[in-house]
């Protein structure tokens, strides 16, 4: 017997969360071993670990409480990784030395697996005078490019690329350039970007007033507020970015407004954080707490919910003490405030089980009630912890209780905090749960609606063969088990059929009892008018949301899934089911694999000499190929130089590129990534072309080798044969980007994160 209700769930566990030896030998033999490992690690900081370990195990058992991926993968492994998901870095100073010190801190944080957020509003605008050097400032966008290039070169712990959030105030003189930055598809690809929108700006937009763009007290430009708002809306309408963060609302509601000011968020926006703030995440799986699902007595077991929440709060509080931190400043910040972010997943499935239509007023009321119960239970559990272990060090009762969030909290909870203090400054947040939701049986993600009631997953094997399996939403699977092939009830709706304002209603209902924020994507139809699109953001503002993120499929963002248009009465479209637009194909020259290929004893290869004009020594690049199904593809790279200044990064690049090549898939993206790196000190002219960096030159060498061996058709042409091309009909909607892990075009946008329907990979973890 297995605890996994779907094959994809076991695959996710094995790929992302199962503890293994360096050679891939499993240490966690079963998922029960993983739960035991986590429970033991988090109980180890208790005065009586033996008493708490079984209680922690019971919370984890059957996927009831889902710690975030960092905890699930890292707790109890003794690896040098952080258990915190992401961080907001220190305030960026407006001087060159401080900026690059910040860059170093960012690199160290991402190296340990943490995503980062930054506010770039503190850097003087482009063209401003730089005292003492008779020069003009290059502006914050130029330094964002440097951060972006750094992020491209770092593979974080657990083989995850770093994720970054960049914010800028709506009154910064370079805000219009910031808004337009993502219109260039090659720029800032490692960043999510969001505009910090103030209350004053929203008032100016509604009043159709003017708006000053200011830095350091100097007005650089004056614009019409509504024109600037329309530029933000137009950019996100066309490119899905920037997001909007209502920053004054966040600071007014913050329990810690008396001792911190927030100007940035983590990469997915659910954790507004101060400088060096860290977010620690976990989710209650509501779908596992419904008694008599789809029956007349279907209801959430609120007693079980409160008990589970109390245990989860204790476990997450222990993570603060059990975790490593990339920087001491992050450790000090986390321990001074002991902030945690307990959220939910499986909300949409739970609503389906009790007969409510996601997005309806009744569903919003039930969501608000459930989240209220969770908030009460979390705060009271933290008060109990404070009586046992002490309040967080910066706790000040009067100031804490005067914050916007605490003024709306229940009177008995406020009284308990006043009397005993509280262990954790903030307790609730709703994070992206795409991957852990798949791991938990493909429950609906976070507070999102069900994305697809079922879809066909393509599983590509090591030998090049492929298998197909149906992946069914958890609630739909329960329905089938109870009622067989009976049609789904009318209250079953999915993300594709919901009106955007229904999404906003659900986000606003949840936000009332979430003291941090919410990661949610509001899906909009491609044909939504621009006026209706803007109404979504204004509704989010009017209904009390702390931010807004939308996704509208189009030729730029891609349209990766589409509702079937079959006219058959019993078709999947009738049931609201969603299928991928296209199916992944396997062609002879490209192999998508889930395990590294074995290295033959001998390989054919070629060595290339690269003379970078700005250095004294040449770089030698050896590329070895492997033959798969009669076709030649790159397998490993060796990069060498006599210049010892190059030693560390050439070794790192050798290992990273070789590791990518051995995993298979569309490895031509390596060329694309390298060629996009620019050196802020300047590039060089080579053979009549400007090459922006030595890394870009190496990318060019690898690309020419791929062309020579037949893997690529030509420069900048990607795969020689697109594995999806034969199934794309003329005029069909664009597929969007390929998954970086498996190469399929089954990405879907959930909670601001591209999540692969085939392998479960998500840039957000």
pLDDT digits (tens, 9 = 90+) for 617-647: 789 999 998 887 667 888 899 998 887 777 8
Same domain, 74 and 95: no
Q: Residue 128: which pLDDT band, with cuts at 50, 70 and 90?
A: very high
Smallest CA-to-CA distance from 765 within 741, 733, 743 is with: 741
**Rounded average pLDDT over 567-586:** 31
- Rounded Cα distance, 741 and 758, in Å: 10
The three-class DSSP label of residue 105 is helix
User: Does the residue 405 lie in any domain?
Assistant: yes
Q: How confident is the model over 487-523, as pLDDT tens digits?
A: 999 999 988 789 999 999 999 999 999 999 999 999 9
* Cα–Cα distance for residue pair 137/140, rounded to 1 Å: 9
> Is 18 found in the same domain as 112?
no
Higher-scoring residue by pLDDT: 158, 7: 7
Lowest mean pLDDT among 12-26, 125-139, 403-417: 125-139
Quote the CA–CA distance of 340 and 424 in Å, as a whole number. 7
Q: Based on the fold, state whether residues 506 and 634 are members of the same structural domain.
A: no
Asked, for residue 563, whether it belongs to a domain, the answer is no
Residue 188, pLDDT > 80, answer yes
What DSSP string describes 382-440? HHHHHHHH---TT--HHHHHTSHHHHTS-HHHHHHHHHH--S-S--B-B---HHHHHHT
> Residue 764's pLDDT is what?
60
Split at pLDDT 50, 70, 90, the class of 562 is very low
Q: What is the CATH number of the domain that holds 443?
A: 3.20.70.20
Give the whole-angstrom CA distance, residue 344 versus residue 369: 13
Q: Nearest-CA neighbor of 195 among 174, 164, 168? A: 168
Query: CA triplet 74, 78, 83: central angle to 5 degrees?
Result: 35
pLDDT tens digit sequence for 214-232: 999 999 999 999 999 999 9
- 237 shares its domain with 306: no
In a 3-state reduction of DSSP, which class is residue 749?
Answer: strand
* pLDDT recorded at residue 727: 35
Per-residue pLDDT at 211 exceeds 60? yes
**Model confidence over 36-80: pLDDT tens digits?**
999 999 999 999 999 999 999 999 999 999 999 999 999 999 887
Alpha carbons 561 and 551: distance in angstroms, whole number? 13
Q: State whether residue 312 is helix, strand or coil.
A: helix
Distance (Å, rounded) from C-alpha 29 to C-alpha 19?
A: 9
Question: Which stretch of DSSP H or E encloses residue 628?
Answer: strand 619-628
Same domain, 368 and 491: yes
Same structural domain, 386 and 430 = yes
Task: Classify residue 412 as exposed, middle or buried by CB count within 10 Å of its CB (0-12, 13-18, 19+).
Answer: exposed
Mean pLDDT of 366-388: 98
DSSP string for 513-554: T-SS-B---EE--TT--HHHHHHHHHHHHHTT-SEE-EE---
Q: 592: which strand partners?
A: 664
Residue 488 carries which DSSP code?
P
pLDDT at 78: 83
Q: Per-residue pLDDT averaged across 301-305, rounded?
A: 97
Distance in angstroms (rounded) separating the CA atoms of residues 453 and 472:
6
For residue 577, name the pLDDT band (cuts at 50, 70, 90): very low
DSSP 90: P
What's the N-to-C CA distance of the chain in angstroms?
28
As a whole number, mean pLDDT of residues 300-328 equals 96
What pLDDT is stored for residue 190 in this prediction?
85
| Residue that is last in its domain, among 503, 522, 541 | 522
d(CA 368, CA 139): 43
Tell me which residues are annotated as active site: 266, 268, 270
Residues 476 and 373 in one domain: yes
State which of 708, 725, 740 marks the end of a domain: 708
Same domain? For 141 and 99 the reply is: yes
316 token code pair = 């997450």
DSSP sequence for 164-232: EEEEEETTSTTHHHHHHGGGSTTSSTTEEEEEEE-HHHHHHHHHT-EEEEEETTEEEEEEEHHHHHHHH
Question: What mean pLDDT do residues 259-288 have?
Answer: 95
Residue 246's DSSP bridge partners are: 197
Tokens of 466: 């492929």
CA distance 694 to 715: 18
Does residue 565 lie in a domain region?
no
**Phi, psi for residue 4 in degrees, rounded to 5:** -85, 130
Neighbours of 199 (CB within 10 A): 13
- Average the pLDDT over 100-116 and give the result: 85
DSSP 3-state of 683: coil
The total domain count for the chain is 3
Domain of 502?
Answer: 1-85+280-522
**Higher per-residue confidence, 573 vs 480:** 480
Other Cβ atoms closer than 10 A to 647: 12
The per-residue pLDDT for 586 is 31
Asked if residue 169 belongs to a domain, the reply is yes
Residue found under tokens 């058992």: 61
> Of the residues 522, 554, 583, which one is the last residue of a structural domain?
522
Among 664, 750, 64, which Cα is nearest to 435's? Answer: 750
CA distances from 441 to 4, 345, 450 (A): 7, 12, 13
Rounded to a whole number of angstroms, the CA Rg of the chain reads: 26
Same-domain check for residues 237 and 130: yes
Q: Determine the Cα–Cα distance for residues 539 and 657; give it in Å rounded to an integer.
A: 46
Q: How far is CA 501 from CA 360, 453, 536, in A?
A: 10, 21, 6
Residue 588's pLDDT is what?
35
Based on the fold, state whether residues 446 and 365 are members of the same structural domain.
yes
| pLDDT tens readout for residues 398-448 | 999 999 999 999 999 999 999 999 999 999 999 988 889 999 999 999 999
Report the half-sphere exposure of 56 (CA within 13 A, side-chain side).
29
Which DSSP string corresponds to 123-163? SPPTT-EETTTTEE---HHHHHHHHHHHHHH-EETTTEEP-
Least reliable range by pLDDT among 193-197, 212-216, 555-559: 555-559
Confirm whether pTM is higher than 0.85.
no
Q: What is the pLDDT of residue 736?
A: 55
Joined tokens for residue 450:
């069900």
Q: What contacts 624, CB < 8 A, 6 or more positions away?
A: 603, 604, 605, 634, 635, 636, 637, 638
Regarding whether 66 and 119 lie in a shared domain, the answer is no
Q: How far is CA 620 from CA 691, 723, 763, in A?
A: 18, 32, 33
pLDDT at 598: 67
Helices (H) and strands (E) in the chain, counts: 24, 33
Q: Determine contact, residues 483/343, Cβ cutoff 8 Å.
A: no
Q: What percent of the chain has pLDDT over 70?
A: 84
Question: In this structure, are residues 84 and 279 in contact, taking their beta carbons and an 8 Å threshold?
Answer: yes
Higher pLDDT, 1 or 375: 375
In tens, the pLDDT along 416-427 reads: 999 999 999 999
pLDDT at 225: 98
> Contact at 8 Å (CB) between 21 and 27?
yes
Prior bond to 242 cis, omega within 30? yes
Which H helix or E strand runs over 342?
strand 341-345
Average pLDDT over residues 666-693: 78
Q: Is residue 173 in a domain?
A: yes
Work out the mean pLDDT of the chain and round it to a whole number: 85
| Residue 747 included in any domain | no
Has residue 32 been placed in a domain? Answer: yes
Element (H, E) at 468: strand 466-472
pLDDT tens-digit profile of 584-625? 223 333 444 444 566 777 888 899 998 888 777 789 999 998
Handedness of CA 283, 288, 291, 297 (dihedral sign): positive
pLDDT of residue 737: 60
Residue 645 DSSP code: G
Residue 559 lies in a domain: no
Q: What is the mean pLDDT of residues 108-122?
A: 87
pLDDT at 172: 98
331, 458: one domain? yes
Contact 277, 339 (CB under 8 A): yes
Q: Is the pLDDT of residue 285 over 90?
A: yes
* pLDDT in the model for residue 355: 97
């Amino acid at each position: 017997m297995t605890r996994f209700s779907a094959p994809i769930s076991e695959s996710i566990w094995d790929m992302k969360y199962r503890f293994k030896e360096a050679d891939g030998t499993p240490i966690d033999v079963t998922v029960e071993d993983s739960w035991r490992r986590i429970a033991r690690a988090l109980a180890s900081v208790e005065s009586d670990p033996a008493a708490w370990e079984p209680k922690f195990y019971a919370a984890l058992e059957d996927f009831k409480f889902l710690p975030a991926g960092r905890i699930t993968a890292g707790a109890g492994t003794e690896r040098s990784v952080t258990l915190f998901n992401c961080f907001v870095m220190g305030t960026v100073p407006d001087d060159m030395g401080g900026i690059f010190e910040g860059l170093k801190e960012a690199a160290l944080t991402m190296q340990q697996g943490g995503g980062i957020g930054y506010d770039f509003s503190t850097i003087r605008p482009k063209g401003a005078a730089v005292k003492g050097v008779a020069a003009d400032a290059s502006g914050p966008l130029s330094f964002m490019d440097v951060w972006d290039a750094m992020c491209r070169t770092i593979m974080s712990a657990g083989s995850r690329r770093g994720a970054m959030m960049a914010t800028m105030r709506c009154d910064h003189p370079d805000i219009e350039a910031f808004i337009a930055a993502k219109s260039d598809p090659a720029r800032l690809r490692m960043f999510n970007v969001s505009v910090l929108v103030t209350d004053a700006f929203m008032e100016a937009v509604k009043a159709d007033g003017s708006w000053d763009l200011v830095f350091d007290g100097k007005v650089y430009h004056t614009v019409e507020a509504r024109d600037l708002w329309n530029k933000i809306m137009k950019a996100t309408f066309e490119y899905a970015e920037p997001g909007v963060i209502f920053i004054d609302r966040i600071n007014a509601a913050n329990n810690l407004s008396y001792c911190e000011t927030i100007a940035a968020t983590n990469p997915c926006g659910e954790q507004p954080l101060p400088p060096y703030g860290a977010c620690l995440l976990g989710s209650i799986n509501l779908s596992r707490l419904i008694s008599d699902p789809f029956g007349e007595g279907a209801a959430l077991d609120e007693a079980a919910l409160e008990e589970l929440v109390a245990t989860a709060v204790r476990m997450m509080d222990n993570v603060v003490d059990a975790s490593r931190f990339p920087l001491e400043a992050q450790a000090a910040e986390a321990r001074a405030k002991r902030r945690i972010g307990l959220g939910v997943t499986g909300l949409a499935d739970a609503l389906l089980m009790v007969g409510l239509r996601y997005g309806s007023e009744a569903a919003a009321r039930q969501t608000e009630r459930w989240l209220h119960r969770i908030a009460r239970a979390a705060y009271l559990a933290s008060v109990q912890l404070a009586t046992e272990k002490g309040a967080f060090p910066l706790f000040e009762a009067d100031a804490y209780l005067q914050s916007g969030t605490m003024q709306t909290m229940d009177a008995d909870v406020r009284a308990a905090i006043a009397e005993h203090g509280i262990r954790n400054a903030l307790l609730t947040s709703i994070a992206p749960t795409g991957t852990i939701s798949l791991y938990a049986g493909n429950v609906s993600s976070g507070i999102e609606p069900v994305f697809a009631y079922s879809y066909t997953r393509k599983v590509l094997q090591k030998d090049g063969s492929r298998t197909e399996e149906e992946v069914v939403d958890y609630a739909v699977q329960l329905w089938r088990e109870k009622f067989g092939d009976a049609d789904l009830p009318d209250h079953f709706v999915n993300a594709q059929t919901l009106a955007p304002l229904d999404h906003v209603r659900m986000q606003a209902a949840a936000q009332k009892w979430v003291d941090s924020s919410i990661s949610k994507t509001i899906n909009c139809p491609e044909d939504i008018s621009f006026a209706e699109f803007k109404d979504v953001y204004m509704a989010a503002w009017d209904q009390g949301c702390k931010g807004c993120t939308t996704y509208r499929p189009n030729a730029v963002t891609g349209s990766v899934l589409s509702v079937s248009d079959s006219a058959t009465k019993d078709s999947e479209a009738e049931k609201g089911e969603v299928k991928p637009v296209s199916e992944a194909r396997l062609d002879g020259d490209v192999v998508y694999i889930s395990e590294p290929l074995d290295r033959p004893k001998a390989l054919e290869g070629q060595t290339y000499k690269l003379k970078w004009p700005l250095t004294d020594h040449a770089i030698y690049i050896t590329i070895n190929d492997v033959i798969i199904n009669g076709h030649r593809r790159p397998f490993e790279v060796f990069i060498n130089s006599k210049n010892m200044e190059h030693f560390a990064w050439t070794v790192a690049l050798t290992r990273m590129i070789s590791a990518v090549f051995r995993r298979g898939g569309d490895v031509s993206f390596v060329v694309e990534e390298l060629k996009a790196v620019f050196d802020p000190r300047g590039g060089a002219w080579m053979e009549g072309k400007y090459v922006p960096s030595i890394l870009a030159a190496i990318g060019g060498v690898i690309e020419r080798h791929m062309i020579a061996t037949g893997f690529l058709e030509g420069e900048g042409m990607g795969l020689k044969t697109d594995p999806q091309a034969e199934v794309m009909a003329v005029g069909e909607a664009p597929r969007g980007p390929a998954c970086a892990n498996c190469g399929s075009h089954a990405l879907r946008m959930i909670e601001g994160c591209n999540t692969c329907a085939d392998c479960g990979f998500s840039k957000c973890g």
